[in-house]
Structure 1
Amino acid sequence: IAEEGSNSPADVFFAQDPGSLGAVDPQLEELPEDILERVDERYRDAESRWVGTSGRTRVLVYSTEAVDESALPDSVLDLTRPEWADRVGIAPTNASFQAFVTGMRLELGDDETRAWLEGLKKNGAKTYEKNTPIVEAVAAGEIDVGLVNHYYLALVKKEQPDAPIANHLFAAGDVGNLVSVAGAGLLSSTDQLSDAEAFVEFLLSDVGQRFYVDEAEEAEYPLVAAVASPQGLVPLDEIEGPDVELTSFGAELEATVELLRETGWLS
């Protein structure tokens, strides 16, 4: 869409993370207030160009056989300690991990984020292409813990009901508890603006939001207050993560990727 610019045939950009939405926000039309107001301001663009449609929190998936719950870290920063050497899995090429690193940069600064990334490297953290293989590796005993989005546990449990795995949230306020969103925006180049608005409006309708509770395999969080979280999940309003603006993620993505290169996680 960025390459197509004003020639894009698309009407709506529906993306998995705020970094992707922010990368094309100059091409997005301002959304109507009646659409925006269905979602808490934390989960929409500060300039009204996109709105979150579902939420996900970062978690530490862990092996219930290899790790006692009492030994789990209070902070994601603790994963660089010696006791976690060769036991951690991450997916540095994945957009969700990159969004998490962006959140860390915004909350803690580049120097502390760089030190953490270098510490993970020194501690022998293992890399995977994406989230599902991390959870599967934990289930198989290949690693003991991994940084993923919360819903991948349910996806793996569906295929392996007896897998000895569970999710762990870090202590309240920890940068490891980032809550991010998938979201949608209207392209300024659309010639079907009313239909495009109707599509985004449906995504945020009670019916559209209940999809994440009743049908979606991923069990993401609905963002409309009238629709309760999927059963078994910590309610979204009880998760205390970093105080960062998701609006900033698009502009920061390039710097995050560069930092991952400099610390040896990307080539």
Structure 2
Amino acid sequence: MRRPSVRRLAVPLLAIGMLAPALAACSDEPADLVIYSGRNEDLVEPLLEKLEKELDANVEVRYGDSAELAAQILEEGDKTEAGLFFSQDAGALGALSKEGRLKPLPQSTLDKVDEAYRGSGGDWTGVSGRVRVLAYHPGKVATPPDSVHDLTGPEWKGRIGIAPNNASFQAFVTGMRVLEGDDATRDWLKGLKANSPKTYESNIDVLEGVDSGEVSVGLINHYYWYEKAAEEGEDKLTAKLHFLPGGDPGALVNVAGVGLLKGAGKKEGEYAQQAADFLLGKEAQTYFAEETKEYPLAAGVAPEEGLPSLDSLEAPQIDLGKLDSLKETLAMLQEVGLV
């Protein structure tokens, strides 16, 4: 008989290790698998409940920010209680890979995902993808620009919406640093800052700013538009999306992904491997396509109707594991005054 689930836990960041004894004490029995999840609980909890049933195991999920959870894992080392890290972005997985904290994945798992969306060291894999896009108000923009570099032009002064404190914006800036170098990226950020962009807390807020006409264009992830269209009806949305061509850094395809953590016991490691394969299976991939409106990366599942295929996108070619220098990106954003 399947044992009762332990409760999901949203743990204050950088306090997971200190709280671990108390958390274990409040559970009826120890977890078979502990997952550190940088993915938002509202997005993935239903899927992780399905995972728990599939494993027929006691699964505990601790939610937090991906970058800070990665830092926590590095601090815990082999003493970490987690067997699986479910990251919001590739950079946090890349940081753990660089420090040797991830176990190699079986080739059978790696082969489920195109090599562009998994770690070059074979120790993490993407499970779903998202594309950076330009949202624009068609009543204010006749022809949207084809590059984020165009947004530093004087015609865009006061017309741009961004969410500089958001992890996806910072990952995009990190991608630009990898692709074009620090000097070029700093210059672009200074030009953007000079155009007095309106700053928002989240991608959703940026999209709403574009939709209402508060700003003319905004930098977001594609799936926020598709989620809003599914909730309210596409005909209710004024904002449109432009997928940037030509390998532009503003067209970065980032992934949410998983890695198996060193330090886990044999049995928990087995559950972690099963969890990774579940997330690459048809049920989970269909969930990403239909519920979160992301790009499924495995199991032959097609993306949401209306989304261009990944193969058709002109995304920049980048080793996603190199998106690990978030601290340097944050320092640059602070230097130019965007955060």
Indicate the residue corresponding to 1:229 in structure 2: 303
Distance in structure 2 (CA, Å) of the matches to 1:255 and 1:245: 17
Indicate the residue corresponding to 1:4 in structure 2: 76
**Residue 255 of structure 1 pairs with residue 316 of structure 2:** no
Q: What's the CA shift string for 1:113-170, capped at 9, x where partnerless?
A: 1111000100011111111110011112211111010001122334443120111111
Indicate the residue corresponding to 1:73 in structure 2: 145
Instruction: Among all aligned residue pairs of Structure 1 and Structure 2, give the percentage whose two residues are the same amino acid.
Output: 47
Q: 1:41 aligns with which of 115, 132, 135?
A: 115
CA RMSD of aligned residues (A): 1.3
Q: 1:211 aligns with which of 274, 277, 287?
A: 287
Q: What's the CA shift string for 1:77-131, capped at 9, x where partnerless?
A: 0001111111111111111111111111111111111111000100011111111
1:123-202 maps to which residues of 2 (within 5 A)? Answer: 123-161=195-233, 162-191=236-265, 192-202=268-278
Distance in structure 2 (CA, Å) of the matches to 1:101 and 1:174: 12
Q: Work out whether residues 133 and 243 of structure 2, in 8 Å CA contact, stay in contact via their aligned partners in 1.
A: yes
- Greater mean alpha carbon deviation, residues 75-84 or residues 203-212: 203-212
Q: Work out whether residues 280 and 299 of structure 2, in 8 Å CA contact, stay in contact via their aligned partners in 1.
A: no
**Deviation of the 1:206 alpha carbon:** 2.0
Q: Work out whether residues 248 and 316 of structure 2, in 8 Å CA contact, stay in contact via their aligned partners in 1.
A: yes
* TM superposition score normalised by structure 1: 0.94
Q: What's the CA shift string for 1:176-233, capped at 9, x where partnerless?
A: 111110000001111111111000001111222111223x1x2000011611121110
Aligned-partner SS, 1:19: helix
Distance in structure 1 (CA, Å) of the matches to 2:289 and 2:175: 27
Work out the number of aligned pairs and report it: 261
Q: Work out whether residues 212 and 230 of structure 1, in 8 Å CA contact, stay in contact via their aligned partners in 2.
A: no
Q: Which runs of 5+ in 2 are unaligned?
A: 1-72
Q: Which amino acid aligns with 2:156?
A: W
Aligned-partner SS, 1:103: helix
* TM superposition score normalised by structure 2: 0.74
Q: Which runs of 5+ in 1 are unaligned?
A: none
